[in-house]
Structure 1
Amino acid sequence: MKGRDATATAVTGPAAFRAAFPMLERTVHLAGCSLGPRSTALDTAMDAMLGAMTGTEAPWHLFEEQVGLAREGFASLIGARTEQIALVPSASVGAYQVASTADWSERPKVVTTPLEFPSLAHVWLAQRPRGAQVVFAERPDDYGAAVDGRTRLVSVPMTGYQDALRMPVAELAALAHREGAELFVDAYQAVGVEPVDVDRLGCDYLVAGTSKYLLGLPGLAFLYARTPGRAEREPSLTGWFGRPDPFSFDPRTLDFPDTASRYQTGTAAVPACYAAVAGLGLIARTDPVHVQEHIRGLTALAAEHLGAQGEHVRDIAPERRGAHIGIVDPDPAGLAEALADRGVMVSPRGDVARVSFHYYNRAEDVEHLCAALRDHRIS
Structure 2
Amino acid sequence: MSAATRAEAAALDAADPLAHHRAAFDLPDVIYLDGNSLGPLTRAARERVATVVGEEWGEGLIRSWNTAGWVDLPTRVAAKIAPLIGAAPRDVIVTDSTSVNLFKVLSAALSEALPGRRTILSEPGNFPTDLYIAEGVAAGEGAALALSDDPLAALDESVAVLMLTEVDYRTGRRHDMARVTAAAHRVGALTVWDLAHSAGALPVDLAGAGADFAVGCGYKYLNGGPGAPAFLYVAPQHQDATQPLSGWFGHAAPFAFEPAYQPAAGIERFLTGTPSVIAMSALDAALDVFADVDLTAVAAKSAALADLMIARVDALCGDHLTLASPRSAATRGSQVSFRHPSGYPVMQALIAAGVIGDFRAPDILRFGFTPLYTRFVDVFDAVDILADILAARRWDAPQFHRRAAVT
What is the identity, as a one-letter code, of the residue corresponding to 2:76? Answer: L
Letter in 2 for 1:136: L
* Whole-angstrom CA distance in 1 between matches of 2:275 and 2:354: 35
TM-fit CA distance, 1:57: 4.1
Letter aligned with residue 336 of structure 1:
M
Tell me if structure 1 keeps the 8 A contact 2:166–2:195: yes
- Cα distance in structure 1, aligned partners of 2:84 and 2:147: 30
CA deviation map 1:195-219 (0-9, x unaligned)? 1121222100111111000111223
TM-score, normalised to structure 2, is 0.84
Q: 1:147 aligns with which of 151, 155, 178?
A: 155
Name the counterpart of 1:206.
214
Specify every segment of 5 or more residues in structure 2 that has no aligned partner in the other structure, as ranges. 1-15, 395-407
Cα pair distance change 1:297/1:52, threshold 3 Å: same
Superposed CA deviations along residues 96-140 of structure 1, whole A, max 9, x for unmatched, are 1022232477101111112321111111122333321222121xx
Q: Residue 245 of structure 1 is aligned with which of 239, 246, 253?
A: 253
CA contact (8 A) 1:135 1:146 kept: no
1:31 counterpart = 2:39: no
Give the letter for the 2:260 counterpart. Answer: T
Alpha-carbon distance, 1:56 to partner: 4.7
Q: Which among 341, 354, 358 is matched to residue 366 of structure 2?
A: 354
Change (3 A) 1:60 1:282: same
Q: Which residue of 2 aligns with 1:183?
A: 191
Alignment of 1:279-358 (within 5 A): 279-310=286-317, 311-318=321-328, 319-350=330-361, 351-358=363-370
Aligned to 1:6: none
- Counterpart CA distance in 2 for 1:68 and 1:256 is 16
Partner residue, 1:68:
75
Mark the runs of 5 or more structure 1 residues left unpaired by the alignment: 1-11
Contact 2:218 2:230 in 1 (8 A): yes
Native 8 Å contact 1:87 1:261 kept in 2: no
- Alignment RMSD (CA, Å): 1.8
User: Given the two structures, how large is their TM-score scaled by the length of structure 1?
Assistant: 0.90
**1:175-209: per-residue Cα shift (whole Å, max 9, x none)?**
11111111110011001011112122210011111
Q: Which segment drifts farther, 99-108 or 198-207?
A: 99-108
CA–CA distance in structure 1, aligned partners of residues 192 and 299 of structure 2: 23
**Offset from partner CA, 1:129-162 (integer Å, 9 cap, x none):** 3321222121xxx223311111110111111111
Q: Tell me the CA shift for residue 337 of structure 1.
A: 1.9
Asked if the contact 1:84/1:260 (under 8 Å) is kept, the reply is yes
Matched, 1:271 2:273: no
Question: What's the counterpart of residue 59 of structure 2?
Answer: 55
Q: Does 1:116 align with 2:126?
A: yes
| Structure-2 residue corresponding to 1:256 | 263
In structure 2, the residue matched to 1:236 is 244
- What is the SS of the residue equivalent to 2:303? helix
Counterpart of 1:14 in structure 2 is 18
**Deviation string, structure 1 residues 62-96 (Cα, Å, up to 9, x no partner):** 22243332121112322323332233321111111
